[in-house]
Amino acid sequence: MRLTKRSGANLFGLCPFHSEKTPSFSVSPEKQIYHCFGCGKGGGVINFIMEIEGLSFREAVEFLAKRVGMEVPDERGDTESRKRERMLALNKDAARFFHSRLTDPSGAPAQDYVNRRGIAPKMVRTFGLGFAPDSWDALLKAMTALGYTRQEMFDAGLIRVGKKEGSFYDTFRNRLMFPVIDIRGNVIGFSGRILGDGEPKYMNSPETMVFNKSRNLFAINLAKKTKAPYFILAEGNVDVLMMHQAGFDSAVASLGTSLTPEQARLISRYTGEVVIAYDSDGAGQKASQRAIGILEKLDIKVRILHMEGAKDPDEFIRKNGAEVFRSLLESSENHVEYRLRAIQAKYDLKNDEQRVAFLKEAAGLLASLPNQLEREVYSMRLAETARVPAQVVEDEVARLRKSRLSREKKQYEREELSPVRNLQRRERSVRYENVRSAKAEEGVIALLFQDPELFRERDPVPPEDFSSPELGRIYAALLSQLRSGGELSPPLLAGQLSQDEMSCLTEIIGSPEMTQGSRAKALADYIEVIKSERSKAAPQDDLRAMAAKYRQKKGYGG
């Protein structure tokens, strides 16, 4: 993420949490908060680390503490953090179990596969490869012996519920196991390749509190250390492993899915260039087109590897050797050339009608390029290919680009500047039952932050009078902070409020400040609205309570 411009006291840049072309991510150095006006995320430094690294509150605090050489006191009361630590420990012990079984006599099928694919012992150790025995409950028994419960193993996705009541069985059986390791070196999940007949060929761990496959990449823990100027994006785990073995240590792969925006943002933290080395079949070409679009939005330079006579990097390296593959990497075409070639393959340029169709589609691609020099260079190349004057192509590209920019401007005005759109954004995180009261409650919170002296000696309105539970919790947390005698500091509330509540708070306190003279009057008006709306809701609450008692008395249930 780069903060590219200043507006008043705030810095703005492209949001690291969603793809965008216009900077909407705001950072206030004075208030020590961030807020994105596009996706709505906001908070302080702890929230940022929690979101960008996928950590719990305690883990984010520990992460930051290590950066400045501090130690965090051990607080056993943090249940979620202890569960995460326990799950990571379980995954690590499971990886050790799988690895030990690879060299066991029972691991012969996996050993045969490793030898057949030419995987060196060093790579087995580097990637922590293992073997899941073709057994009903080998892992279950081993982890039970280490003191882990069945519930912990089930939550980690290592075992499944059997058909017989109370029975469980291992998720991974008769598979070559690839531990999935995050950028901090934690084993967060597994990917297993079947060694016999059966489906699926690859099986990944399910989503857990430590594993989200759309936000992680296989071998990112190794690739982040590379000195290469680019990452190589492949489809399969074995492709990645064999490239590392051949000396290409910047190779990574998505985990059984097409590249996701979250994975692209993870890549962008370590490099500004990606070479896509997907399989050469139809599915690989389709996945390449999708990946190009995602990476482009992050200003990542994209090149495409075209492998003649091989379906994937592993096969190419085995046939031609590492040096030939290196030459291929260096001469790989950029994504524009790749996409133009893919478009050309669809048409017979000897046919005038198809040649016109080719020109229209290719000109549409060139019109989407943000760089004018690129548009001009490829327009001349397109003209040569289609055997038409260059000016014809340049005019068509210019016309299509003007139309495209006009559509994008209208869409931006419709979606980004609409009050309805802004309200919908809010509803994605905090939904209001009583909008009139909630807007007044937001006003009270904004005033509390702008002029704490109005609240220091008294509570003008109790938090329980708020119609929105989320706003009530935000207000109560700020009041508590004020009563403790310190300055109001939203970043310090990260451990008390949810991420959605922190995002809501940063949006509220980012609103324009009122003048000193109007604040007391505004507070009185807000309180009047809150009390009025609460009095209207009271009879309805009483009716609901009476109805509930009646249903209970008659035995109708809740």
DSSP-based three-state secondary structure for 127: helix
**Nearest by Cα to 526 from 449, 477, 481, 460:** 460
Name the nearest CA neighbour of 453 among 368, 497, 516, 522.
516
Token pair listed for 234:
């492949």
Question: What is the chain's alpha carbon radius of gyration, rounded to the nearest angstrom?
Answer: 29
Mean pLDDT of all residues in 483-509: 85
At which residue do the structure tokens 């006599």 appear? 105
- Assigned token pair, 146: 């280490």
Domain over 424-552 is classified CATH 1.10.10:
no
Look at residue 276 in the predicted model and tell me its pLDDT.
Answer: 96
Give pLDDT tens digits for 336-353: 998 999 899 999 999 999
Q: Evaluate if pTM is beyond 0.75.
A: no
**Domain boundaries defined on the chain:** 3-67, 79-211, 220-339, 348-411, 424-552
d(CA 457, CA 82): 39
Q: What is the pLDDT of residues 33-87, one digit of tens each?
A: 888 887 888 888 888 888 887 777 777 888 888 887 887 666 544 577 789 899 9
User: What is the bridge-based pairing of β-strands 301-304 and 231-234?
Assistant: unpaired
Which residues touch 451 (CB under 8 Å, ≥6 apart)? 516, 519
Token pair of 558 as six digits: 């809740």
* pLDDT score recorded for residue 458: 74
Q: What is the mean pLDDT of residues 543-557?
A: 53
| Distance between CA atoms of residues 218 and 38, nearest Å | 30
CATH number of 220-339: 3.40.1360.10
Cα-based distances in Å from 506 to 256, 464, 491, 500, 524: 36, 21, 9, 10, 23
DSSP secondary structure code for residue 17 in this structure = S
Any bridge partners for residue 131, and if so which?
Answer: 176
Apex 109 CA angle, 104 and 110, nearest 5 = 70
Does the domain at residues 3-67 carry the CATH identifier 3.90.580.10? yes
Mean pLDDT of the chain: 86
In this predicted structure, the answer to whether residue 317 has a pLDDT above a threshold of 70 is yes
Strands 231-234, 273-276: pairing kind: parallel
Q: What is the pLDDT of residue 12?
A: 86
pLDDT for res 421:
41
Task: Give the mean model confidence (pLDDT) for residues 522-528.
Answer: 91
Strand, coil or helix: 149: coil
Q: How many residues does the chain have?
A: 558
Calculate ∠ Cα 337-343-344, nearest 5°.
85
B/e letters for 253-286, b = 16+ CB within 10 Å, e = fewer, are bbbbebbbbbbbbbbbeebeebbbbbbbeeebee
DSSP secondary structure of 29-93: TTTTEEEETTT--EE-HHHHHHHHHT--HHHHHHHHHHHTT------TT-HHHHHHHHHHHHHHH
Q: Phi, psi at residue 129, to the nearest 5°?
A: -60, 150
Q: Write the class of the CATH domain 79-211.
A: alpha beta
**Tens digits of residue pLDDT in 366-412:** 998 888 888 999 999 999 999 999 999 999 999 999 998 888 777 75
Residues 420-460: tens digit of each pLDDT: 444 444 444 567 888 899 999 999 999 988 888 888 777 78
Q: Within 13 Å, how many C-alpha atoms sit on residue 225's CB side?
A: 9
Cα gap 259→182, rounded to integer Å: 17
Q: How far is CA 131 from CA 105, 177, 221, in A?
A: 11, 5, 21
Residue type, 418: S
- State the DSSP string of 152-195: HHHHTTSEEE-SSTT-EEES--SEEEEEEE-TTS-EEEEEEEES
506 in Cβ contact with 491 (< 8 Å): no
Spatial distance between the Cα atoms of 70 and 46, rounded to a whole number of angstroms: 15
Alpha-helix runs per DSSP H in 213-321: 220-223, 237-245, 261-268, 282-296, 313-320
Q: Predicted confidence band at 258 (pLDDT cuts at 50, 70, 90)?
A: confident
Type of residue found at 406: S
Q: Let me know: does 91 contact 98? Beta carbons within 8 Å.
A: no
